[in-house]
């Protein structure tokens, strides 16, 4: 069994590798030096690496590697149509297509943009259903820009997918990404005059549970939520053990649809770890209660975790991976019970993804 | 032939080459012929604001920008502006 963790940082990409025990890790990199890697992922279909890469001078793009980072190719065609009046600002998230959808990947970007490739990442076409969405004039950028940071594919229903955009909200497509409808009922937008609007919510991270795809989880600017009906309605889950509803990252346990992990921050105004500790909170009862997991995590600690800096693998028990802005990667090989520091002193970590195979 | 010199990140993206000799009648023609054209120019073909282009030591923005004409003997140096962190 091999486990590979992709750690995107402000200064390139690092790879950490271990066996199924996930206790001893080797570090390789940096790759893609000079690029801020907002997100990197392994395509499970062919094990190619894909990275959403940004540079202050040279703009936003996507890189891919078929030899585990030794060589990289860059997107040849990626941009927004002139008649939209939009220009590509940042690339945020790469999501591989489903098994059988050869060559297809999705890319979330700012400002509020979704792209699709059908040639493995060489040319990317803007998805009109998002780029030209009829409600776009009501969307607003969050502090990180108007980023499309979450792309969740229903693993069972090829026509269904979801995106999360800050601060436009969650959108669902039931026709393969042609059209999207807002899916925010029950989520709050305390920063708007109408605190329960149709859209405009600041979703921070959205995930679909792979074993029960009608169930979605989201960490929002205004709370933690779960939906059991494909985003038709949402139930708020904080106030029952969580120190705060505010946070960015979110991870799931692939074996347990009733479980989720979050890393709250004190508040939107004070974005620090609560109670002077880096704490992971886990629910195993659908968000009915949350328990603090700290064994092996540092205290006091104030390391912020970005929205993409949290991931889980598909092993049993699930591994959970946490990267901090202060350059540490913490690994839990036992679904959050205990943690070890697999790497430290890396550049600020922006993203973490894990993949395992035998 | 004009000579185009690339800084290190662009050279990496160009497969390790930092010198290109090109036939080009304008600065824009020269930049569009590079394998890193989409890093130097945005999706509208506009020179990215933090990329500086010096034609024989003179900032192309102080001349005619991408329309600056070339005789074919110039040295074009691309330089990243001081930015970032």
pLDDT tens-digit series, residues A126-160:
999 999 999 999 999 988 899 999 999 999 999 99
pLDDT tens-digit series, residues A278-331 = 999 999 999 999 999 999 999 999 989 999 999 999 999 999 999 999 999 999
ipTM of the complex: 0.95
In A, which residues are within 8 Å of B8 by CB distance?
34
pLDDT at A238 (0 to 100): 86
Mean pLDDT of A43-50: 97
pLDDT at position A90, please? Answer: 98
A interface mutation test: which of B7, B43, B46, B84 has the most A CBs within 10 A? B43
Q: A68-117 pLDDT, tens per residue? A: 999 999 999 999 999 999 999 999 999 999 999 999 999 999 999 999 99
Torsion over CA: A99, A101, A107, A113 (sign) = negative
Inspect the interface and report whether the beta carbons of A57 and B83 lie closer than 8 Å: yes
Measured distance CA(A185)–CA(A133) in Å, rounded: 18
Domains in chain B and their CATH numbers?
2-80 (3.10.20.30)
Q: Give the pLDDT confidence of B53-68 residue by residue, as tens digits.
A: 999 999 999 999 999 9
Q: Does B51 touch chain A (CB under 8 A)?
A: yes
Residue numbers in B near A79 (CB within 8 A): 42-44
Question: How many CB pairs below 8 A link A and B?
Answer: 49
Give yes or no for A227 touching B (CB within 8 A): no
pLDDT of B83 reads 63
Q: For the whole model, what pTM was predicted? A: 0.97
What torsion do the CA atoms of A166, A213, A50, A45 make, to the nearest 10 degrees? -170
Mark yes or no for CB contact A74/B9 under 8 Å: no
Q: Which domains does chain A have, with CATH numbers?
A: 2-357 (2.130.10.10)
Average pLDDT over residues A154-171: 97
For residue A282, list its beta bridge partners. Answer: A261, A291
Q: Which residues of A touch B13 (CB under 8 A)?
A: 74
Q: Which of A35, A147, A48, A30 is nearest to A91 (CA)?
A: A147
Q: What is the nearest CA distance from A34 to chain B, expressed in angstroms?
A: 7
Whole-angstrom Cα distance, residue A33 to residue A41?
17
pLDDT of B84 reads: 59
Look at A80 and B9 and tell me if their CB atoms are within 8 Å.
Answer: no
């Amino acid at each position: 069994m091999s486990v590979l963790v992709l750690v995107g940082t402000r200064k390139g990409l690092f790879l950490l590798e271990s066996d199924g025990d996930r206790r001893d890790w080797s570090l390789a990199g940096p790759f893609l030096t000079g690029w801020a890697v907002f997100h990197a992922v392994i395509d499970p279909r062919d094990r190619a690496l894909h990275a959403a890469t940004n540079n202050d001078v040279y703009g936003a793009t996507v890189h891919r590697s078929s030899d585990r980072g030794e060589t990289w190719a860059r997107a040849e065609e990626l941009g927004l149509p002139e008649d939209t009046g939009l220009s590509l600002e940042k690339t945020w998230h790469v999501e591989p297509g489903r098994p059988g959808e050869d060559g297809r990947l999705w890319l979330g970007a700012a400002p509020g943009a979704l792209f699709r490739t059908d040639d493995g990442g060489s040319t990317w076409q803007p998805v009109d259903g998002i780029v030209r969405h009829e409600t776009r004039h009501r969307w607003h950028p969050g502090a990180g820009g108007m980023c499309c940071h979450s792309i969740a594919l229903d693993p069972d229903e090829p026509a269904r997918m979801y995106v999360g955009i800050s601060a436009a909200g969650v959108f669902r497509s039931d026709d393969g990404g042609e059209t999207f409808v807002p899916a925010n009922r029950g989520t709050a937008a305390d920063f708007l005059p109408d605190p329960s609007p149709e859209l405009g919510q600041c979703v921070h991270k959205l995930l679909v549970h792979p074993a029960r795809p009608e169930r979605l989880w989201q960490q929002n600017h205004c709370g933690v939520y779960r939906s059991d009906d494909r985003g038709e309605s949402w139930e708020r889950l904080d106030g029952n053990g969580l120190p705060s509803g505010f946070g960015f990252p979110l991870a799931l346990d692939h074996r347990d649809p009733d479980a989720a992990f979050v890393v709250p921050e004190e508040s939107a105004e004070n974005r620090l770890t609560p109670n002077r500790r880096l704490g992971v909170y886990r629910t195993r009862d659908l968000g009915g209660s949350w328990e603090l997991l700290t064994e092996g995590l540092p205290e006091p600690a104030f390391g912020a975790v970005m929205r993409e800096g949290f991931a889980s693998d598909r092993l049993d028990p699930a591994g959970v991976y946490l990267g901090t802005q202060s350059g540490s990667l913490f690994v839990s090989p036992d679904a959050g019970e205990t943690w070890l520091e697999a790497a430290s002193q890396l550049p600020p970590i922006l993203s973490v993804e894990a993949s395992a195979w035998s | 032939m004009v000579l185009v010199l690339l800084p290190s990140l662009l050279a990496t993206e160009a497969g390790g080459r930092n010198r290109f000799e090109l036939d080009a009648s304008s600065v824009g023609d020269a930049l569009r012929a590079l394998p890193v054209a989409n890093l130097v120019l945005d999706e509208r073909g506009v020179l990215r604001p933090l990329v500086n282009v010096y034609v024989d030591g003179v900032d192309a923005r102080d001349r005619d920008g991408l329309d600056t004409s070339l005789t074919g003997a110039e040295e074009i140096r691309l330089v990243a502006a001081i930015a970032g962190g």
